[in-house]
Structures are given as structure tokens and as C-alpha cells.
Structure 1
Amino acid sequence: MNPATPQGNRSSTVLGRRLGSELLRLRDGSGKTQQQAAQVISATNSKIVKMEQGWVPMRDPDIRALCDFYGLEDPEQVGRLLEVARLDRERRKAKGWWVTSLTQGSLREYIAMEDVALRLRTWQLALIPGLFQTPDYMRALSVAAVSPDRISEIEKLVDVRLQRQRRLQGDEPLNIHAVIWEGALRQMIGGPQVMRQQLEHLRELAEQPNIDVQVLPFRAGVHSCGGGPFNILSFAESGALDVVHMDGLRSTNWVEGAEESAAYTDLFARTCTTSLSPYDSSRFMESIAKGMNE
């Protein structure tokens, strides 16, 4: 069964599955059975299965009782699980702007996750990250991506991305660390004027305290993240409950396991070390913009 396939009036969510996998890991580590866990919270085995697979929202008392039963005594770790459970409950009830603005379910899911995340680390090979794109850059991309019979949808797509960019401002802005391959900065999307404006906009954003931008130059040679772009979304300060998002042409893939997401975090960290510093990256982008001819 697809993990996001509705089950009755419920459906699994990325956050629910991430939280459920942590509870499953704790239960396996403690040697407890599903039946024993069910007895602790006065529930059925079926409910434990649904919790561990992310099918149902989880109550704080159930999480506390199970953590105590599994021997998890660290209050910070318990607190992180409770915070993710809270975010998941809010996520399930949310009727955000994206619900009516989009038709693609996978994109709705990602934007809903982005809306509640604390931090985003993004690696981009070919494009400027969506949260940093100017309207003209978006339009140039959309013209290439949208079929001729859907040209009228371009402004709708631009509006969706501009609404997402609101997360860069406000009282609790999204913290973003972006690493961008040099090729994305030189790709002439929309022509020299559009690209110069895009690079200047990127440099201005990088001056915000919640945004770091690094460039991986061609001269760095072989690097760790050659497999494709990805986003790491964090929902707790420690990063212990990260999920990784990879968006393909016709599919979206979520990496939700602790070991798998940690591997992407390591890839990202290693790529950062071979990239230019934020200061040098800004100067590098400036030099590329100046070299673009009409």
C-alpha cells in the first residue's frame, strides 16, 4: 500500500510516519511487543500498528506512556517527539492557502511541511532554489515546463511560489542553508537581464540572518552530492527528526528513516566543506552577474 493512501477517513502523513518510525524503533529496542504496548495505553494492537505507520494523530499522554514503557528517560528526546506530534496534528487539520491553490497532491504535502519546518537545508544542481527565485525567473522556468495548452496557468504557478516565499520573513522565519552548484548560476534562464536580477536578489537574500548561501564551484571537482537535488526539513532543534524530500519530474520521494536522513545530512555537510564560504559565494555571484552580456 502507498504510505499516503487514505485508510477510511484517515491518511498517513510524512510527520506521522516519521514519528511512528521512532516509536517503532524504541519499542524494538526495548524488546516490547505490540500487544504489551497496546495494554499500556488501553488500546488495541491495531491502534499501535496505525500509530507506528503514521495513520492516526497521536495524543501526548499516549506518547509519554509509551516512552516511559520503552525506557526513554531523556526529557529532551520525549519533548522532541511531543513537538512533532503537535505539528502533525496541526498539519492534519490545516486548511492553508495551498489546499485551494494547487492541484498536485505531492506539492501540497511538501508545502504544508515547509510551512511548519524550523529549518531547511537545500542542495541544488541546476536551478536557483524555489524560495529564492524572482518572478521573472519563475516565469521563464514555467514557460519551459508547462505544456502549450496550460500556458494560462503560469501566473498561478508564480503566485504559489511567491506565497511560499513569505516564510522567509516574519517573526519566525524559516532558517535556510542553501548550497548551489555553479552551473545553476550560469544557466541562462530567461536571458542575461533576468539572470543578473536573479543573482542580485540571491545576494540580497543571503544578507538576511536566517539565510546562508554557499556556491559549489566547478573547480571543486568531484563532490558528494552528484546524485541530484534534495531538501532536508528539520522540525526539532537537534535535527534528530529530519526528513528528506526529493522531487522528480513525475514523482516525489520522502526519505523518513533516521539512518537514511542522517546520511543525507552527512552528504550535505561534506558538500558545504568543499563549497565557497558565504562571503566568497556572494562575491562569486557578483562576478558571474557582471560577466553576463546582453
Structure 2
Amino acid sequence: MAAELRRLRADADLTREDVTRETAINPATLYRIETARGKPQQRTLIALLKLYGVEEPQFGELVALSQGADSQGWLRPYHSELPEEYTAYISFEAEAGNVRNYESLFVPGLLQTEDYARAVIRSVLPMASAREVEQRVQARMERQAVLDGDRPLQLWAIMDEAAIRRIVGGPEVMSTQLRHLVTAGEVPNVTIQVIPFAAGAHAGMPGSFVLMSFSGADDPEIIYIDSMAGDLFLEAEADIRRYGLLFDNLRAVALGPDDSLNLIKKAAAEMSSGEEVAE
């Protein structure tokens, strides 16, 4: 339902602000509906469908779908305690068919081990309680299910070499994480590339981003940016084109997949050697 309503709005060439102005639907309500965080009331759904110019039989089919849309997918009850932007991201990721992820400092969340994820979350959220940390770790581990199954997510992950060199959680945790990356990179639906330090300055240095594409040919792509200033979703055609070109540029600057895995193996070996010396 959420994906279809986003597609219909895009086809009608309307922004969320346009919809609010035309229907008086609260922006937060529309955001929750389009991110599968809330089920639309029937009068709200009908107002949206009329604004988007939807006709029968699709009109009746969507109303019927809404009446049976009481499930939140794989989202667990405790996810209601997570930030709304993060649960929105989880919903989008679960629907996506293809994800292109660039990370400048971290291993991508879908490729993190539990211990690495815990170390990262504790460090970047120093004010979070132990319970909040564990909730986020559990959510991150559950998210990785999208990489398995009959129709697994196609993930293309590019990292700066800083992401594999920074010792997160200590040498043992990091060496385990690097070995996990090598294993993940050998799976057909996962491609991993690393931009080496030797490449010098590059277009990805300002920050990380995720570009999500969906199975339906008409579903609009979405960009997700996580920053100190907050989470941001972009869906304008100009932004999609700009970030698509940016990802292509980073892909060209990075080492090829085989060389990238060799670099990760080398880093893992060096990390393990450091562990032995420390012992």
C-alpha cells in the first residue's frame, strides 16, 4: 500500500507539500502512510486516490487492500520505540530490490557483524541506554534477512578504505568483521568495492548515502542520507540523477570487486597479526 501510494503521487507529479495543500492531510500523517508506519483511515485514502486521479477498478482494489493492511511487515513491536526516520528506512529497505550504498567511515549496516554493530552504536550514540543500544543492534541484525531468500536484495556497497582500517570494537572484533566482509563479498547478490587511500581525494568524501530502487518499474527511487543534522529522504528526479552519477563516479574510482576483497583480506591478516603481537 505504501509503495503504491508513493508511486501514484509521483505519477501525479505531486510533492508531499502539494498533497498537504490540496487535501489538508497532516504532513506527518502522509509521511507515516507512505513509509508503512501507519494505515490510512478510509476517508484519508479516498481523498488521496481522488487527488491522484485513480479510477476503478484500481480505486476499489486499493480501498480493499487498505482494509486488510493491518500488518507492519517484519517490523517487530519494539520498533515503535526506534526513531521514526529509522523505521521508515527499514520499511523502504525491506521493499527495495536494489540498494547502492556508499560509506565513508563505517562498514554498511547490512554487512556488519553483531559485535561491530554494537561497538558502532555505543560510540555514535553515547547517551543511549543499554536497552536502546541492544534494540538498534537487534534491528540491524534483522535487517540483514533481506540479503537471503528466494529474491534477495541486490546490494552494491562501496567503502572508503578508512572504513576497513579503523579499529572498531578492538582488533578481534574488527578482524572478525573484515573476514565477514570477505565472505559476504563472495555471495552473488552482494558486490563490495573499496576506494583505497592511494586514490586521494574523491567525490564521496563529503559523506555517506544510500540509493534504493524498487522492484516495480514505476516505483520512484529514494535516496537516504544519515547525518549529524538528522535523517533525510530525497526523491526529486534531479537528486536521484545526481546521486546516481555520484555512485557511478565512486564505482570507477574504487578498486574492482576482486581487488577490493584482496585488500580486505590483507587488512584482516594485518589485524590478526596485530592481535598475536598484543597477546
What CA distance in whole angstroms lies between the structure 1 residues aligned with 2:223 and 2:199?
25
Partner of 1:40: none
Alpha-carbon distance in structure 2 between the residues aligned to 1:215 and 1:121: 14
Structure 1 residue identity aligned to 2:138: D
- Aligned twin of 2:233: 254
Of residues 209, 212, 217, the one that matches 2:196 is 217
Cα displacement (A) at 1:252: 1.0
Cα pair 1:134 1:198 within 8 Å, conserved? yes
**In structure 2, C-alpha distance between the alignment counterparts of 1:105 and 1:20, rounded to whole Å:** 21
State the partner residue of 2:149. 170
Offset at residue 236 of structure 1 (A): 3.8
Give the 3-state SS of the residue equivalent to 1:180 in structure 2. Answer: strand
What are structure 2's unaligned runs of at least 5 residues? Answer: 35-43, 57-61
Identify if the C-alpha distance between structure 1 residues 184 and 197 changes in structure 2 by more than 3 Å, giving closer, same or farther: same
Task: Kindly state the Cα deviation for residue 220 of structure 1 after the two structures are TM-superposed.
Answer: 0.9
1:99 offset after TM fit, Å? 5.2
2:99 to 116, 120, 123: 120
Match of residue 41 from structure 2: none
| Letter in structure 2 aligned against 1:98 | L
Cα distance in 1 between the residues matched to 2:196 and 2:237: 30
Number of aligned positions between the proteins: 244
Match of 2:184 in 1: 205
Preserved CA contact (<8 Å) 1:245 1:255: yes
Partner of 1:190: 169
Q: Which residue of 2 aligns with 1:23?
A: 12
Q: CA deviation at 1:160?
A: 1.0
Name which of 71, 88, 94 aligns with 1:109.
88
Paired with 2:218 and 2:184, the residues of 1 have a C-alpha distance of 24
User: Which letter does structure 2 place at the counterpart of 1:153?
Assistant: E
**Closer, same or farther: CA 178–132 of 1 in aligned 2, 3 Å:** same
| 1:283–1:165 Cα change, 3 Å | same
SS at match of 2:249: helix
Aligned positions of 1:1-294 closer than 5 A = 16-17=5-6, 19-24=8-13, 46=22, 56=45, 58=49, 62-63=53-54, 94-98=71-75, 100-102=77-79, 103=81, 104-147=83-126, 150-236=129-215, 241-292=220-271, 293-294=274-275
Structure 1 pair 148/248, CA: closer, same or farther in 2 (3 Å)?
closer
The one-letter amino acid of 1:274's match is: V
Secondary structure at the aligned position of 2:102 is classed as: strand
Say if 2:10 and 2:220, in contact at 8 Å, map to a contact too. Answer: no
Write the letter of the residue equivalent to 1:23.
A
Provide structure 1 residue ranges, at least 5 long, that are not aligned to the other structure: 1-12, 26-33, 35-44, 66-84
CA offset digits 1:199-258 (Å, max 9, x no partner): 110110111111000001111112122221000010146697211000123521011111
Which whole-Å CA distance do the structure 2 matches of 1:287 and 1:195 have between them? 13
Name the CA distance, whole Å, in 1 between partners of 2:104 and 2:98: 20
Partners of 1:171 and 1:63 lie apart in 2 by 33
SS in 2 for 1:291: helix
Q: What secondary structure, in the 3-state scheme, does the structure 2 residue paired with 1:263 have? A: helix
CA displacement at 1:179 relative to structure 2: 0.4
Distance 2:106 2:218 in 1: 26
Q: Is the 8 A contact 1:200 1:286 kept in 2?
A: yes
- Judge conservation of contact 1:99–1:108 (CA < 8 Å) in 2: no
How high is the TM-score relative to the length of structure 2?
Answer: 0.75
What does the per-residue CA deviation read over 1:160-209, in whole Å, with 9 as the maximum and x for residues that have no partner?
A: 11111111101111110000000000011011111111011011011111
- Going from structure 1 to structure 2, the CA distance change for 1:157 and 1:251 (only over 3 Å counts) comes to same
Deviates more, 1:173-182 or 1:100-109: 100-109
**2:129 counterpart SS class:** helix
Q: What code does the residue aligned with 2:165 have? A: R
SS in 2 for 1:253: strand
Tell me, in whole angstroms, the C-alpha distance in 2 between the residues paired with 1:239 and 1:195: 41
